[in-house]
């Protein structure tokens, strides 16, 4: 699935949710915009990583489904950052080398209302299409990553471009403005593409771990 396909599928889901809600349960059907910060890390035994801060922004829709349940669809653009430890050739300078991953994601979440329009628990899958894990500063590209003798910072940029995450979180606030806190765990191996590059390690495994805090405005 490429970026254009992701957007097309997302808008189809948004349209379906709008139509479904209006025809069946017409209690409420909100469109919204959202934005916030991300705390991103990679859970792996193959790299020494450090959680870093990024940002996210996008569109969402929430509609009444049945009884105390809502359905939520969204399209978000995300810029995530992570640090990976490495040292220069002589081992005299050790750095948490920063990388940035930019991409888009669609989510399809179920929501259980503890207090309708004010407090709810969300859960469901997220489909993520992203670019490479790009070095923020090329001066560290030849730094050797901790735990290796030949793998450099520039060698690990080509990560998997499509990943699946599972999300769970809490949304609270007013009818038209809420704060959302969510945890996203990557169920796919986002480092699997590195295993085809002939590197010193031929069995990279890593799963994304993301905390997202957002403000949501509904119209």
In this predicted model, what pLDDT tens digit does every residue of 38-57 receive, in sequence order?
A: 999 999 999 999 999 999 99
Residue 185's SS3 state is strand
Question: Which residue reads 């909100």 in tokens?
Answer: 30
Domains and CATH numbers, the chain: 3-218 (2.40.160.20)
Q: Give residue for tokens 């929501």.
A: 111
CA dihedral 153, 51, 213, 106 (to 10 degrees): 40
- Give the tens place of pLDDT for each residue, 178-216: 999 999 999 999 999 999 999 999 999 999 999 999 999
More confident residue, 19 or 136: 136
Structure tokens at 1: 């699935």
pLDDT number for residue 23: 47
Confidence of residue 91 (pLDDT cuts 50, 70, 90): confident
Class of residue 151 by CB neighbours under 10 A (exposed 0-12, middle 13-18, buried 19+): buried
Task: Give the Cα separation of 108 and 90 in Å (integer).
Answer: 49
Report, as an integer, the average pLDDT of 126-150.
96
Q: What is the pLDDT of residue 6?
A: 54
pLDDT attached to residue 67: 87
Instruction: State residue 65's pLDDT score.
Output: 87
Q: How confident is the model at residue 13 (pLDDT cuts 50, 70, 90)?
A: low
Quick one: pLDDT at residue 18? 52
């Amino acid at each position: 699935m490429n970026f254009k396909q992701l957007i097309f599928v997302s808008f189809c889901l948004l349209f379906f949710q709008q139509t479904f809600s209006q025809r069946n349960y017409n209690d409420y059907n909100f469109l919204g915009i959202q934005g916030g910060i991300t705390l991103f890390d990679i859970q792996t035994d193959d790299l020494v990583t450090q959680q870093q801060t990024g940002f996210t922004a996008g569109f969402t829709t929430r509609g009444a489904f049945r009884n105390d349940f809502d359905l939520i669809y969204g399209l978000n653009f995300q810029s995530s950052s992570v640090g990976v430890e490495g040292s220069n050739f002589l081992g005299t300078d050790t750095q948490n080398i920063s990388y940035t991953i930019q991409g888009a994601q669609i989510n399809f979440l179920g929501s259980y209302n503890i207090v309708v329009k004010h407090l709810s628990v969300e859960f469901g899958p997220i489909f993520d299409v992203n670019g490479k894990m790009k070095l923020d500063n090329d001066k560290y590209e030849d730094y050797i990553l901790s735990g290796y003798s030949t793998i450099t910072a520039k060698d690990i940029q080509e990560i998997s471009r499509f990943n699946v995450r599972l999300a769970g979180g809490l949304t609270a606030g007013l009818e038209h403005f809420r704060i959302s806190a969510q945890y996203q765990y990557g169920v796919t191996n986002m480092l699997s593409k590195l295993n085809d590059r002939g590197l010193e390690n031929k069995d990279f495994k890593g799963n994304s771990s993301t905390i997202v805090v957002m403000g949501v405005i509904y119209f």
